[in-house]
């Protein structure tokens, strides 16, 4: 089985295609490349549960598996969407952070999966510390020694263990002394910048777009660093609120929490996705049909796989 091909099931474009109902051709191509037969599963839900289980093995785990574990264990486990905002693929200067968590602090989580290189980690850290208070690398055991050797001691290290738990190898230290007001202003949306300025007690007049960030940055620079960080947290909690998703996420299988939170942006998209994964997994246009006996046989095989893997 080709695990790299199988991991394409969790690509953002594939997830969106499922919610849009345009996934079948791509799905069959991925399964063919991965060496997986669609008739071994009754629906997409069973297929994805199987793929997620396969990709949970150390050495095979892709970026998505790490991302979903952070959402499951930290955002939904330790915290809640009522008190926490998630920043997905958040740009800071020349780097794009995998996940940011905004609650009582501004916390960065950069993923270095079993398959990733550590080549850019130093430059990413330098960018992230200009915006976030705490920076963590969420990684596989194989990378820990190198990260400890090459990265400063104030970078947190969180290990995704073989059992799928998140183990704190080293706690992150506060980087507020390195926060850069200009970078912080540039990383936010225009409406968010204006809200932060308002929370700081200033009032910014309308200016041409060409001058906006230069003038807005001057307000950020004038603020106390601690107060600026607090105002940014409050603004992001308001502008990127996910609390309305709390009840909806309960309906999503464990493998799809990150999809629901980070990729399926509308209620319609989420509803379409949930409906699609429950539909029978066969192609009518290709005249592939399931008899009752075939369905029952497939179900028994899937149940045996679940028992063997548990």
pLDDT at 290: 42
Contact of 169 with 205, CB cutoff 8 Å: no
pLDDT at 286: 38
Token pair, residue 205, equals 């007049």
Q: What is the CA radius of gyration of the chain?
A: 22
- Is pLDDT at 244 greater than 60 in this prediction? yes
Quote the distance between the C-alpha of residue 18 and its chain's center: 18
Condensed to tens digits (0 to 9), the pLDDT of residues 199-219 reads 999 989 889 989 999 999 999
Q: Round to whole Å and give the CA distance between 192 and 175.
A: 22
Q: Round to whole Å and give the CA distance between 128 and 119.
A: 16
Nearest residue to 219 (alpha-carbon basis) of 183, 185, 177: 185
Mean pLDDT (whole number) for 41-56: 95
Contact of 148 with 170, CB cutoff 8 Å: yes
- Please, what is the average pLDDT of the chain? 90
pLDDT-derived band at 281 (thresholds 50, 70, 90) equals confident
Mean pLDDT (whole number) for 229-255: 94
Number of H helices, E strands in the chain: 15, 6
Mean pLDDT (whole number) for 38-42: 87
- Is pLDDT at 306 greater than 70 in this prediction? no
- Is pLDDT at 288 greater than 50 in this prediction? no
- Is pLDDT at 292 greater than 50 in this prediction? no
3-state secondary structure of 309: helix
Nearest residue to 184 (alpha-carbon basis) of 127, 257, 245: 127
Nearest residue to 230 (alpha-carbon basis) of 241, 244, 215, 220: 220
pLDDT at 78: 86
- Cα-Cα-Cα-Cα dihedral sign, residues 31, 36, 40, 44: negative
- Higher-pLDDT residue of 54 and 294 is 54
Condensed to tens digits (0 to 9), the pLDDT of residues 100-111 reads 999 989 999 999
- Higher-pLDDT residue of 129 and 205 is 129
Mean pLDDT (whole number) for 43-51: 96
- Is pLDDT at 300 greater than 80 in this prediction? no
Sheet of strand 95-102: strand arrangement: 85-92, 95-102, 106-112, 134-139, 156-160, 166-170
pLDDT-derived band at 38 (thresholds 50, 70, 90) equals confident
Q: What is the domain partition of the chain in residue ranges?
A: 3-60+255-309, 85-177, 181-239
């Amino acid at each position: 089985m080709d695990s790299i091909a199988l991991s394409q099931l969790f690509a953002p474009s594939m997830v969106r295609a499922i919610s849009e109902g345009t996934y079948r051709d791509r799905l069959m191509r991925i399964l063919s490349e991965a060496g997986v037969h669609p008739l071994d599963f009754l629906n997409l839900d069973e297929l994805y549960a199987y793929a997620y289980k396969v990709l949970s093995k150390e050495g095979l785990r892709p970026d998505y598996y790490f991302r979903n574990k952070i959402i499951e264990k930290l955002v939904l486990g330790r915290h809640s969407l009522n008190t926490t905002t998630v920043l997905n693929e958040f740009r800071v200067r020349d780097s794009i952070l995998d996940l940011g968590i905004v609650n009582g602090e501004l916390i960065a989580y950069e993923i270095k999966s079993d398959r990733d290189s550590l080549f850019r980690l130093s430059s990413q850290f330098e960018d992230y510390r200009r915006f976030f208070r705490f920076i963590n690398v969420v990684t596989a055991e194989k990378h820990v020694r190198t990260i400890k050797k090459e990265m400063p001691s104030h970078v947190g290290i969180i290990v995704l263990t073989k059992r799928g738990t998140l183990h704190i190898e080293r706690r992150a230290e506060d980087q507020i002394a390195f926060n850069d007001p200009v970078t912080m202003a540039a990383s936010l949306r225009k409406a968010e910048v204006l809200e932060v300025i308002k929370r700081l007690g200033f009032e910014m007049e309308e200016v041409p777009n060409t001058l906006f960030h230069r003038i807005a940055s001057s307000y950020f620079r004038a603020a106390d660093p601690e107060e600026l960080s607090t105002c940014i947290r409050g603004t992001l909690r308001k502008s990127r609120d996910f609390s309305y998703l709390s009840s909806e996420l309960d309906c999503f299988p464990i493998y799809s929490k990150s999809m629901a939170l980070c990729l399926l942006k509308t209620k319609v998209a989420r509803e379409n996705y949930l409906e699609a994964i429950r539909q029978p997994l066969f192609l009518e246009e290709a005249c592939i049909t399931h008899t009752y006996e075939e369905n029952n046989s497939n179900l028994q095989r899937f149940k045996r796989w679940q028992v063997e893997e548990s």
